[in-house]
Structure 1
Amino acid sequence: MSVVIVIPARFQSSRYPGKPLVELRGAGGAARSLIRRSWDAAMAVSGVDRVIVATDDDRIADHAAGFGAEVAMTSTACRNGTERCAEVLGQLPVPPEMIVNLQGDAPLTPAWFVEDLIAGLRAAPAAEVATPVLNCSGAMRADLIADRAAGRVGGTTAVFGVDRQALYFSKEVIPYVGHEVAPESPSPVFHHVGVYAYRPAALTAYAAWPEGTLERLEGLEQLRFLEHGRPVLCVEVEARDREFWELNNPADVARIEQMMQRMGLA
């Protein structure tokens, strides 16, 4: 049963053009590009058959090939990473058991996040799509709220039912909590980790649907599944004392570098 990780990467990001090639300095002072660090994170995941960087830009393709990555060229018409993953699926001679979308802006994604996600989808035969969620401490929740107050689009939050099926995803901090949460205490807020595991049929269906209204308003590709009545399984993952943040804005570079310094990540 094969698993393929696809890392979608585009140069023309509306919020941060050229983001995949931005360099991040680790604890040892070495500078590596965002796409290289995301590829390193993917290569650390056990039980994966292939890791493919999917892009429509020659600069990213040449850079990725230069550090040894397998590269798939995809269309400039792809509106998001899920559509890019669907194109890669169409290029594979034999469909894998699942495609994992490890977005190219999440270099701090620990291997166990992805391993637990794969295991979670395998354990739910009826599920077609799964994604990880991480319980926010009071401090992480405060960081998310601070980003929104400053007008920055920070992390995404998720709410789900008792069956772990997603009810909604938002760039607002949901659910609303009418009291303060101590920095080290767990909060009712779950940070959506931007990784997805799809069965091939789900990717094929997604690519055939038009962009959804909520998807467009929130700028969140996974909402297309919910808008078409397809459940998304939320798999809770554990931080294990690792800090996690995605690179959404230029201001996140310093934040991620500081996290890498604190965690001793080279």
Structure 2
Amino acid sequence: MSVVIVIPARHASTRYPGKPLVELRGASGQARSLIRRSWDAAMSVPGIDQVIVATDDDRIRDHAEGFGAQVAMTSPDCRNGTERCAEAVAALATTPEIVVNLQGDAPLTPAWFVEDLVAGLRAAPKAQVATPVLRCTGRMRADLIDDRHAGRVGGTTAVFGHDGRALYFSKEVVPFVPDAIADDAPSPVFHHVGVYAYRPEALAEYATWPEGVLERLEGLEQLRFLERGRHMLCVEVEARGRQFWELNNPQDVSRLESMMSEMGME
């Protein structure tokens, strides 16, 4: 049963134009583009049959093909990465069992996040979509709050039920926690990791729906599934000592480079 990873990437980002081609320096000082590092992360996942960069930009296509990536050219009218994944998958000769959307701004995604995500979706036949969540430490929660106070769009948080079914996602830090939490202590806040696993039928259906109200307000594509009442599973993953952050703003470049240096990532 096949699993395909699609990495959606667009040049015309509202918050950070040209983001996929921004270079990040690792522990050795070697510079690689964000899209290259995301592709490297995808290629490191065991059990994946195909990795595709999906873009509407010739610069990203040329750059990605230059380091050996398979590229699918998609419409500039795609409103988000999920729609871009749907278009790329629709063009495949064979429909895969599961499609993974590894967003191009999350190069620190460990391979086991994707492995656990695929296993979680396979084990939950009622779920149509799955996405990983990472329990925040007190320090990570404080960083998210600092970003919001500074007017920056930082990470996204997730709220889900006892069975893992997603209830809501927000760029605000939810749920509200009234008490202080030590830096290294676990908190009840979960950071949403920007990866999705879809059953292909759900992915195709998504592309036919108009943008949802909550999706538009929060700027979070996954809310379209929730607004349509679809079953989305949150799969808790373990950091195993790895740091995780997404590149959302120009200020995040130094943060990611510092994390890569600390973790010894080239």
Query: TM-score if structure 1 supplies the norm length?
Result: 1.00
Query: 1:254 Cα shift?
Result: 0.1
Query: 1:163 Cα shift?
Result: 1.0
The answer for the alignment partner of 2:96 in structure 1 is 96
The answer for the alignment partner of 1:140 in structure 2 is 140
Q: Does 1:64 align with 2:49?
A: no
| Aligned residue pairs, count | 266
SS in 2 for 1:180: coil
CA deviation string 1:139-166 (max 9, x = no partner): 0000000000000000000000001000
Q: Distance in 2 between matches of 1:160 and 1:243?
A: 23
% identical equivalent positions: 77
CA deviation string 1:208-240 (max 9, x = no partner): 000000000000000000000001100000000
Q: Distance in 2 between matches of 1:105 and 1:9?
A: 8
Query: 1:62 Cα shift?
Result: 0.2
Q: Distance in 2 between matches of 1:59 and 1:13?
A: 14
Q: Distance in 2 between matches of 1:146 and 1:179?
A: 16
Query: 1:125 Cα shift?
Result: 1.5
CA deviation string 1:83-141 (max 9, x = no partner): 00000111011110010000000000000000000010011122110000000000000
Q: Which amino acid aligns with 2:22?
A: V
Unaligned runs of 5+ in 1: none
More divergent stretch after superposition (62-71 vs 89-98): 89-98
The answer for the alignment partner of 1:20 in structure 2 is 20
Alignment of 1:60-209 (within 5 A): 60-209=60-209
SS in 1 for 2:99: strand
The answer for the alignment partner of 1:212 in structure 2 is 212
SS in 2 for 1:208: coil
Q: Distance in 2 between matches of 1:125 and 1:44?
A: 26
Q: Which amino acid aligns with 1:228?
A: R
Q: Distance in 2 between matches of 1:80 and 1:119?
A: 25
The answer for the alignment partner of 2:6 in structure 1 is 6
Q: Does 1:252 align with 2:252?
A: yes
SS in 1 for 2:141: helix
Unaligned runs of 5+ in 2: none
Q: Distance in 2 between matches of 1:135 and 1:95?
A: 33
SS in 2 for 1:133: strand
Q: Which amino acid aligns with 2:34?
A: L
